[in-house]
Structures are given as C-alpha cells and as structure tokens.
C-alpha cells in the first residue's frame, strides 16, 4: 500500500498544479478527480473494515453485483470532492490512507479470509488500495509523457477518454 501511494505522489509531484486540476485530462476527470476517487474507495474499505470488526461483514455491499452502482459511487465521490482544492484532496488522501492502514492492522488475521463475507478482504483490498491505483497511475504517466511531448488530444488514450467509468470489474469493483 505504501509503495503504491509513494509512486503516485512522486508522479503527481512532477506535474504542475494547473495540469493536475485541468478538466477532462483523464476521460471525464482531472488528475485531482482521480486522486479523490482513490480516497473515496479507501473510505469505502474503511467502512467495510468497521463492519467486519463489528462482526457484520455480511452487511457489506459488493458493487460487483451492480456495475452501475460503481459508476454512481464514482460520480458522487468525484462531485463531492470538486469543491476541495488540490491541496485539500491531497490532505484527504493522506488522512484516509493512514486510517485505512490503521484499520487494516487492527483486523484479526482470521478476518482477512473469513468465508462469512461474500468476498474475503484478500479478494478486494488489493484493488481498493494499490492495484487500481497502479492502473490509474500508468494512465496518468502515459498522459503526462504525451502531454510533455505535445501529443494530440491532450495525451488521452482511448481507454482514458472513456475514463471515469470503472471498466472491467472484479471483486475490487472500483
């Protein structure tokens, strides 16, 4: 989790703020919106950890059962964060990641593979906390390289142009 976030922060540290907040560079989203998206899914993981800690893992909603719910979740999360400055989103991202790690460490080891949950923590946490971020980071890196080279269309690949949506979903759902 830590290495993934450090890599993301190193990448965005290379990009001027005006580019990070420029609308529609990542499909329908700005880079700032993508960062808010990460925070929202990590907050969802924290909510799940709280349910698991209370013995209520059975009450977790798994978005994979309703793909349109993923898009609604993403749209609400990004819209809610639009009022925040880039600095505010970065602070939120750091705070949420700290809470996520603390909640994760507080879970009993048996909870990670508990068959009482539709999907055990080990099935969805990587997607919420680092693999999904890595996919977005690769897109951000391609966009930024193309942008620096003066690529057409602001450096957006076809996949990034349809961004904001979730694409292929597994147990991670985000």
What is the 3-state composition of the chain as percent helix, strand, coil, each rounded to the nearest 5?
A: 70, 0, 30
pLDDT in tens, 14-29: 999 999 999 999 999 9
Domains: count for the chain: 1
pLDDT tier for residue 117 given thresholds of 50, 70 and 90: confident
Q: Is residue 30 part of a domain?
A: yes
User: Is 172's pLDDT higher than 80?
Assistant: no
What percentage of the chain carries pLDDT values higher than 70?
86
pLDDT in tens, 121-157: 998 999 988 999 999 999 999 999 999 998 644 444 3
Q: Is residue 174 part of a domain?
A: no
Q: Is residue 37 part of a domain?
A: yes
Neighbours of 45 (CB within 10 A): 23
Alpha helices in 14-151 (DSSP H): 17-20, 31-53, 67-81, 86-106, 121-126, 132-148
The whole-angstrom separation of Cα 89 and Cα 52 is 27
pLDDT tier for residue 173 given thresholds of 50, 70 and 90: low
Q: Is residue 167 part of a domain?
A: no
Q: Is residue 170 part of a domain?
A: no
- pLDDT confidence of residue 156: 41
- pLDDT confidence of residue 14: 95
Q: Is residue 152 part of a domain?
A: yes
Q: Is residue 98 part of a domain?
A: yes
The whole-angstrom separation of Cα 141 and Cα 57 is 36
pTM as predicted: 0.84
Cβ within 8 Å of residue 48, ≥6 positions away:
57, 60, 121, 124
Q: Is residue 103 part of a domain?
A: yes
Range of the domain at 91: 2-161
CATH number where 135 lies? 1.20.120
């Amino acid at each position: 989790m830590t290495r993934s976030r450090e890599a993301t922060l190193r990448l965005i540290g290379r990009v001027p703020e005006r580019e990070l907040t420029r609308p529609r560079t990542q499909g329908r989203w700005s880079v700032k919106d993508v960062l808010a998206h990460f925070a929202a899914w990590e907050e969802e993981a924290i909510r799940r950890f709280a349910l698991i800690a209370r013995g209520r893992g059975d009450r977790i909603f798994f978005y994979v059962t309703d793909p349109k719910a993923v898009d609604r979740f993403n749209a609400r999360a990004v819209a809610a964060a639009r009022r925040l400055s880039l600095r505010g989103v970065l602070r939120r991202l750091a705070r949420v990641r700290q809470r996520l790690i603390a909640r994760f460490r507080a879970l009993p080891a048996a909870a990670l593979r508990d068959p009482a949950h539709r999907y055990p923590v080990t099935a969805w946490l990587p997607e919420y906390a680092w693999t999904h971020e890595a996919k977005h980071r690769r897109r951000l890196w391609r966009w930024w390289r193309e942008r620096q080279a003066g690529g057409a269309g602001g450096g957006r690949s076809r996949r990034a142009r349809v961004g904001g949506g979730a694409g292929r979903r597994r147990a991670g759902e985000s």
